[in-house]
Homo-oligomer: A and B are copies of this chain.
Amino acid sequence: MIIALSGGIGGAKLALGLSQVLPPGELLIVANTGDDFEHLGLSISPDIDTLTYALAGLDNTELGWGRRDETWSFMETLGAIGGETWFRLGDRDLALHVERTRRLCAGETLSAVTADVARRLGIAPRLLPMSDDPVRTRILSDGVWIDFQDWFVRQRCAPAFHGLEFAGAAEARPQPELLAALRAGPRAVVICPSNPFISIEPILAVPGLRAAIAACGAPVIAVSPIIAGQAVKGPTATMFAQSGTAPSAAAVAARYADILTHYVMEPGDDAAGIAARVSRAPILMRTLEDKISLARAVLAAIG
């Protein structure tokens, strides 16, 4: 079993690549849920949703987020009756949030809902949240804690990043299948090219997961989300800079130093100081072929 840890957009690209080159039974994709939040009374899991849409071929490639063939009648009407419109929910996307919320309220786990929706949308590999317990990333800015989506979407990352916490993480239990897969001796753990601060580290903050990865005996391979000091997408580079570290592929690797055995980074980027075994591959994934190529490079790196 290959266990892939992923955040949203970037991670989902590699997860899709892996899903194309591995037999379905040999891939377990684990989604960050630190970005999850409750909005308009709905339980929204942005990284699970991004992975779901990407793996089902339903992602909106024009927007770069959300669902393909999306319409916006709900949002337009919500604005007209005075509702909050800063987090844009498409009409199709909304179906997932409403149905998930209904099922969670009826007592189902996030894992059960996620896996069932994935199955119904024809996703072959297993897709699970890191935990069925709520973990909520919050950003510290000038002494004030800001809920992650408020900072990320509503305020467009404008408040300076001075720190973060994963509220609830200390009490969260690792998703049981994930823990079992780590203990059963996986073929490898793949850390997808996601933001370390807000996509991968919430997963590693779930008690027992970081230790179980370190102890699993398999290669732990990360793919850099940084090319030439720039993040492909999102606030990764800014978060490094505002926390006093120059953004680089090596700076990402350093955050995983205790568990990392292998690292895939862009040809030409500086590997100085990286303790893991470094492989080089183009990490920008524009096409499906790019995603498959990078997935193959990851598998080749671990042999």
> Chain A residues in contact with chain B, CB under 8 A?
40-42, 67, 69-71, 73-78, 80-83, 90-92, 94-96, 98-99, 101-102, 105, 116-117, 120-121
Contact = CB atoms under 8 A, between A and B. Distances in A.
A116 B42 CA distance: 22
Given A74-B74, A74-B92, A98 B121 contact: no
A95 B82 CA distance: 10
B82 A98 contact: no
Given A73-B71, A91-B73, A81 B96 contact: yes
Number of copies: 2
A41 B102 CA distance: 5
A114 to B, nearest CB: 11
Contacts of A95: 73-75, 77-78, 80-81, 83
A102 B82 CA distance: 12
Contacts of A80: 95, 120-121
* Residue of A67, A81, A102, A121 ringed by the most chain B CB atoms within 10 A: A81
A40 B103 CA distance: 9
A106 B195 CA distance: 34
Nearest to A93: B77
B41 A105 contact: yes
B78 A99 contact: yes
A121 B78 CA distance: 11
B71 A83 contact: no
Contacts of A91: 71, 73-74, 77, 91, 94
